[in-house]
């Protein structure tokens, strides 16, 4: 069965520092995709970044980059130059495909706190 | 912009009541999903639908049912609410051929 593991319940960082949020995954599929979502205290889920298993380059979106290490089955999110507004819960997710369609399975999340 | 709306942000119901949570998306997406979110457990998939009148069980379907009579609307039904269904419920939609899911604002349900 597919599985997403986020081992850091909470992370603390100061403004302008870089931070890495860990994510490891387990799948027997050759084709898969990995996502990161941000959930501020208001509750909405905000899509940050996507990495396909066949993508040769690590995905980047502004201050977000995904450090994809296929052999180690890890897909860590790197946030450069943290801002106060980055304080939120972050979820790693993987798309899971069965005969009926495709859904996402999520990790348990990491709470990031950015201080000034 | 894609918009996914949920009928209530906060809901309080009594044990044994029948509860309807409504989700509407305005982008003609084929796929719709219901998740529940609990502290320390992340998001868990309850049901999803890939077409009108079609549904598939997710990881935790027990105690829930769904209805999709129109493409834009996906309803989650708690036939007889119980206190262990107190949770945040998140709806999402996704167009065919894309991997990104678009989420609604969530409904925080309390069952007393």
Stretch 46-85 of chain A: residues touching chain B, C-beta under 8 Å: 47, 50
Q: Report the distance separating Cα B53 and Cα B47, nearest Å.
A: 13
Judging contacts by C-beta atoms under 8 Å, the chain A residues touching residue B48 are 100-101, 103
Least CA distance to B107: which residue of chain A?
A43
Per-residue pLDDT, A8: 95
How many angstroms separate the CA of residue A110 from the nearest CA in chain B?
9
Q: Do B31 and A107 touch (CB under 8 A)?
A: no
- Long-range CB pairs of A40-44, under 8 A, 24+ apart, other chains included: A40/A87, A40/A88, A41/A88, A42/B105, A43/B88, A43/B105, A43/B106, A43/B108, A44/B103, A44/B104, A44/B105, A44/B106
pLDDT score, position A97: 67
**pLDDT(A113) > 90:** yes
Integer CA distances (angstroms), A110 to A36, A39, A98, B33, B40, in order: 11, 10, 27, 23, 9
A74-110: pLDDT as tens digits? 999 999 999 999 999 999 999 876 545 678 889 999 9
pLDDT for the residue numbered A91: 97
Region at B47 (left for phi over 0; alpha for psi -120 to 50; beta for the rest): beta
SS3 content of chain A, % helix, strand, coil (to 5): 5, 55, 40
The alpha-carbon gap from B40 to the nearest alpha carbon of chain A, in Å, equals: 6
CA A105, A111, A112, B1 torsion: positive or negative? positive
Rg value, chain A, Cα:
14
Among A102, A107, A110, A111, the residue to mutate for chain B (most B Cβ within 10 A): A102
Burial of A111 (0-12, 13-18, 19+ CB in 10 A): middle
Contacts of B58 in chain A (CB under 8 A): 103
Give tens-digit pLDDT for A18-29: 999 999 999 988
The alpha carbon of residue A8 is apart from the nearest alpha carbon of chain B, in Å, by: 11
Q: Which residues of B touch A44 (CB under 8 A)?
A: 103-106
Cα separation of B76 and B19, whole Å? 8
Question: What is the predicted pLDDT for the residue at A101?
Answer: 61
pLDDT at site B111? 98
CB pairs under 8 A between A and B: 57
Residue ranges of chain B with per-residue pLDDT less than 70: 1-2
Summary mean pLDDT of chain A: 92
């Amino acid at each position: 069965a597919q599985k997403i593991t986020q081992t850091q319940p909470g992370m603390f960082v100061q403004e302008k520092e870089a931070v890495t949020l860990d994510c490891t995954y387990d799948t027997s599929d050759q084709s898969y995709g990995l996502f990161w979502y941000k959930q501020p205290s208001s509750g909405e889920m905000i899509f940050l970044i996507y990495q396909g298993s066949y993508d040769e380059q690590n995905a980047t979106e502004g201050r977000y980059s995904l450090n994809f290490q296929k052999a180690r089955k890890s897909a860590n999110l790197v946030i450069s130059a943290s801002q106060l507004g980055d304080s939120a819960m972050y979820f790693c997710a993987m798309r899971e495909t069965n005969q009926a369609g495709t859904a996402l399975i999520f990790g348990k999340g990491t709470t990031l706190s950015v201080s000034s | 912009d894609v918009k996914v709306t949920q009928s209530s942000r906060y809901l309080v119901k009594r044990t044994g009541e029948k509860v309807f949570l409504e989700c509407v998306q305005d982008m003609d997406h084929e796929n719709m999903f219901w998740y529940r979110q609990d502290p320390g457990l992340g998001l868990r998939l309850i049901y999803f639908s890939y077409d009108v009148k079609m549904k598939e069980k997710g990881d935790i379907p027990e105690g829930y049912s769904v209805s999709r009579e129109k493409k834009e609307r996906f309803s989650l039904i708690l036939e007889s609410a119980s206190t262990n269904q107190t949770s945040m419920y998140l709806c999402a939609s996704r167009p065919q051929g894309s991997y990104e899911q678009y989420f609604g604002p969530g409904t925080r349900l309390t069952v007393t």
